[in-house]
A and B are shown apart, each in its own frame.
Chain A
Amino acid sequence: MTKRFRFLPIATFLGFAFLYIPIIVLVVFSFNKSKLVTVWGGFSTHWYGELLQDPQILGAAWISLRIAFISASLALVLGTLAAFVLTRLGRFWFKPMLSGMTAAPLVMPEVITGLSLLLLFVAMESMFGWPAGRGFTTIVIAHTTFCLAYVAVVVQSRLSDIDESIEEAARDLGAKPVRVFFDITLPTIAPALMSGWLLSFTLSLDDLVIASFVSGPGASTLPMVIFSKVRLGVSPEINALASLMIGVVALGVGLAAWQLLKSPRTKPVE
């Protein structure tokens, strides 16, 4: 008993330390006055100011945010439709396969996803001229594809949790099917939709590999700019930028989790 009592807190502490010390170091050094990344020269917010005057970084951030917004929204619609098919269409023989295929992009190596999408885009362009060249549009399509899987999984688990008789009850009380969807189904799955969107948004914002494959001239996302800058040497400015990104992503994931937690239960209590 006492052995376990000591072991668990220590293991927990070590685990979290392993995960978060690098990030803490990075955030701390983003406030470094010195130009040398590894030498502490006193506290300063100088690099954050520098960041706001760098047009390249600001431009990339703007592109990244727009891509994240559009692809998260598209993924939300498509992923929700997929989730409806998988929970409401009854049983059919290839449903397990379909379910697996929807979730497959979650575990697919990014390099492969990126490469296959690139090949597709090139083939499409030579066949019917769209999308013309690689850039903003192709990144949006690529991000929508893999974010869709996350939305489908989150919404599907929520949908299968809903007691379907609440929809029947609404129909029974005089609501047409469309009305039932907006009055009953949508409010009950809204937290899942919200969290699916936020998750997609942060995933798109984070992605480097897939974007690198399908991007073209003039459409460098923030992670791509950071990566190219780091290759020339890590600067405190990048530390500052990374700290900001960690903040945004943590906020997104936190909100997503909170949305899922606060959703009311619909299953009858036994």
Chain B
Amino acid sequence: MSAQTQLAADEKPWRRPGEKPFIRIKKLTKKFGDFIAVDDVSLDVFRSELFCLLGGSGSGKSTLLRMLAGFETPTSGTIEIDGQDMAGIPSHERPTNMMFQSYALFPHMSVEQNIAYGLKRDGVAKSEIADQVADMLGLVQMSNFGKRKPDQLSGGQRQRVALARSLIKRPKLLLLDEPLGALDKKLREETQFELIKIQESLGITFMVVTHDQEEAMTLATRIGVMNYGEIVQVGEPPEIYEYPNTRFVADFIGSVNMFEGRVKEDDKDFVRIESQEAGTEIYVGHGVSCSPDQKLWFAIRPEKLILNRKRPDGDSNILKGMVEDVAYMGNLSVFRIKLDSGKVVKATQSNRVRRDDEAISWDEEVYLTWDETAGVVLQS
């Protein structure tokens, strides 16, 4: 779907041990008074990556981005870009450019003047600037709008101008703060793919801050999930979705059903979990490093649950409950099923046929089951 599918596994630099990172963030901390905005973050980003920092508001993702741009000074820790330490280098001398959430277009300048500004400050020759501005306008499909002022443009057009302005100096690192946040849903989806296309054609390393997990999944080569100033997990989108390492990540990315339980039997190849909440024994088909009787959580995505009217065979991984609600979403239906323990479980089914008279409906008693490798065991 996105950039990562076009790279073969061994071409992914973050999978090659010993590969030199392009951006190296080491033990970075930023405090505002007593408030710790960014807490001891270490992160490596590689050349030509499209890295997404994902987190809720106040998670410190924007502060991290602003430290890379040079707008905030780290309290401690270091930032290295392409081998160069960024400490003490002011923002106007950094090899980075930023696209602002508000776009921050200069209101008194035309689109062309806005885009040309960076080159003009670098003392590039006038004819050269004109050529490059024309190229950039073409790249973001705004060639016919060069003479307009920002207040004569729509939101989507302004977004393109802001992107062109931040790209024209070919920065080593482009920082994007919620680049699509101000666009409506339809436009956002289209723009996501354009952004990927532009990033791939220029080969510039992108660092995107977003709170929108769908956006992060679509755009990113890798995602860093942030919470309370810390990076909780770094991984490729499927890794983050299928193998979250904490309850926070599992819950933040997509929707999930979580069952609290205790280890009943722990073997090299499997684990049995006793869960009161689930009302069934959970059998996990792989080894988990845990101790007997340890408290842990079992997380399973709604689309991994299989709905049945009849009780499936076997004696583990079977939930019994009553359909409380069915939400028809078009492409799929979401079932809310209340278990005997009172816990409500979400399950989705894709609507493969147009009309199904046999479809499971309200107040029916149903069984839910899942593959022994479909869920994740979480320790924290």
**19 pairs of residues in contact across A and B, judged by CB atoms under 8 Å:** A166-B106, A168-B100, A168-B104, A169-B98, A171-B71, A172-B69, A172-B97, A172-B166, A173-B166, A174-B92, A175-B117, A176-B92, A179-B121, A183-B117, A188-B107, A264-B107, A266-B107, A268-B102, A269-B155
Within 8 A of B (CB), among A136-173: 163, 165-166, 168-173
Chain A: interface size category: 20 to 34
Contact indicator per residue, chain A 208-246, by CB within 8 Å of chain B (1) or not (0): 000000000000000000000000000000000000000
Q: Which residues of B contact A (CB under 8 A)?
A: 69-71, 90-93, 96-98, 100-108, 117-118, 121-122, 149, 151, 155, 165-166, 169, 182
A171 touches B151 (CB 8 A): no
A169 touches B169 (CB 8 A): no
Q: Which residues of A contact B107 (CB under 8 A)?
A: 166, 188, 264-266
B104 touches A174 (CB 8 A): no
Q: Which residues of A contact B93 (CB under 8 A)?
A: 174
Please, which residue of chain A has its CB at the minimum distance from the CB of B117? A173
| Bound CA span A188–B108, Å | 7
| Bound CA span A33–B55, Å | 81
Please, which residue of chain B has its CB at the minimum distance from the CB of A186? B108
A165 touches B100 (CB 8 A): yes
Question: Main SS of chain A's interface residues?
Answer: helix
Q: How far is the CB of B194 from chain A (nearest CB, A)?
A: 21
A175 touches B121 (CB 8 A): yes
A184 touches B106 (CB 8 A): yes
A268 touches B103 (CB 8 A): yes
B106 touches A168 (CB 8 A): no
Please, which residue of chain A has its CB at the minimum distance from the CB of B177? A165
Q: Which residues of B contact A269 (CB under 8 A)?
A: 155
Instruction: Add 15 more A-B contacts to A168-B100, A183-B106 (CB < 8 A).
Output: A166-B105, A166-B106, A172-B70, A172-B71, A172-B92, A173-B92, A173-B118, A173-B121, A174-B92, A174-B122, A175-B92, A179-B121, A183-B117, A184-B106, A187-B108
Please, which residue of chain A has its CB at the minimum distance from the CB of B182? A268
B102 touches A173 (CB 8 A): no
Q: How far is the CB of A67 from chain B (nearest CB, A)?
A: 33
Q: Which residues of A contact B121 (CB under 8 A)?
A: 173-175, 179
| Bound CA span A48–B177, Å | 65
A165 touches B108 (CB 8 A): no
A163 touches B102 (CB 8 A): yes
B165 touches A173 (CB 8 A): yes
| Bound CA span A174–B89, Å | 12
Q: Which residues of A contact B91 (CB under 8 A)?
A: 168, 171-172
Q: Which residues of A contact B102 (CB under 8 A)?
A: 163, 165, 268
8 Å CB contact of B106 from A170, A171, A268:
A170
B106 touches A169 (CB 8 A): yes
Q: Which residues of B contact A165 (CB under 8 A)?
A: 100-102, 104
| Bound CA span A188–B149, Å | 14
| Bound CA span A173–B167, Å | 10
A168 touches B71 (CB 8 A): yes
